[in-house]
Amino acid sequence: MELQVAKQAVRTASKLAHTVAQHHISSISKSDQSPVTVADFGAQAVIISALKQAFPGDPVVGEEDAAALRADDTLANKVWALVKEAAPHDKNLSERTNLFAAIDAGNYAGSAKGRQWALDPIDGTKGFLRGGQYAVCLALIVDSRVELGVIGCPNLGPRGGLFSAVRGKGAFWEPLFEESTPEKISFRHIESTKDATFCESVESGHSALDTQLKIAQSLGISNPPVQMDSQAKYCSLAKGDADIYLRLPVRMDYEEKIWDHAAGNILITEAGGVVTDMNGNLLDFGKGRTLKDNKGVIAAAKSIHSDVLKAVQKALL
∠ CA 18-13-63, rounded to 5°: 110
What character string, x for contact with ligand A2P (CB under 6 A) and - otherwise, covers 62-101? Answer: ----------------------------------------
CA 242/CA 226 separation, integer angstroms: 8
CA 247/CA 264 separation, integer angstroms: 13
CB closest to Mg ion, residue no: 123
Tell me, by CB under 5 A, how many residues bind Mg ion: 3
CA 7/CA 263 separation, integer angstroms: 12
> Binding to ligand A2P by residue 277, rule CB under 6 A?
no
> Binding to ligand A2P by residue 260, rule CB under 6 A?
yes
CA 84/CA 163 separation, integer angstroms: 25
What character string, x for contact with Mg ion (CB under 5 A) and - otherwise, covers 65-104? Answer: ----------------------------------------
Q: Which of 121, 124, 154, 160 binds ligand A2P (CB under 6 A)?
A: 124
65 is in an annotated binding site: no
> Binding to ligand A2P by residue 251, rule CB under 6 A?
yes
Provide the total of helices (H) and of strands (E) in the chain, helices listed first: 10, 12
Which helix (H) or strand (E) segment holds residue 173: the answer is strand 170-174
141 is in an annotated binding site: no
Give the E-state strand segments of 96-160 in sequence order. Answer: 115-123, 135-142, 145-153
Closest distance to ligand A2P from the beta carbon of 102 (Å) = 20
Q: What is the DSSP letter of 17?
A: H
Catalytic site includes residue 32: no
In the complex with Mg ion, the residue whose CB is nearer, 120 or 200, is: 120
Catalytic site includes residue 125: yes
Closest distance to ligand A2P from the beta carbon of 13 (Å) = 16
Q: Which of 201, 265, 276, 294 binds ligand A2P (CB under 6 A)?
A: 201
CA 250/CA 304 separation, integer angstroms: 24
Local structure of 16: helix, strand or coil: helix
CA 41/CA 75 separation, integer angstroms: 10
- Single out the segment in contact with ligand A2P by CB under 6 A; choices: 74-82, 89-97, 110-118, 201-209: 201-209
For residue 43, which amino acid is it?
A
| Residue numbers at the binding site for Mg ion (CB under 5 A) | 120, 123, 260
Pick out the residues of the known binding site for Mg(2+). Answer: 63, 120, 122-123, 260
Positions marked active-site: 40, 125
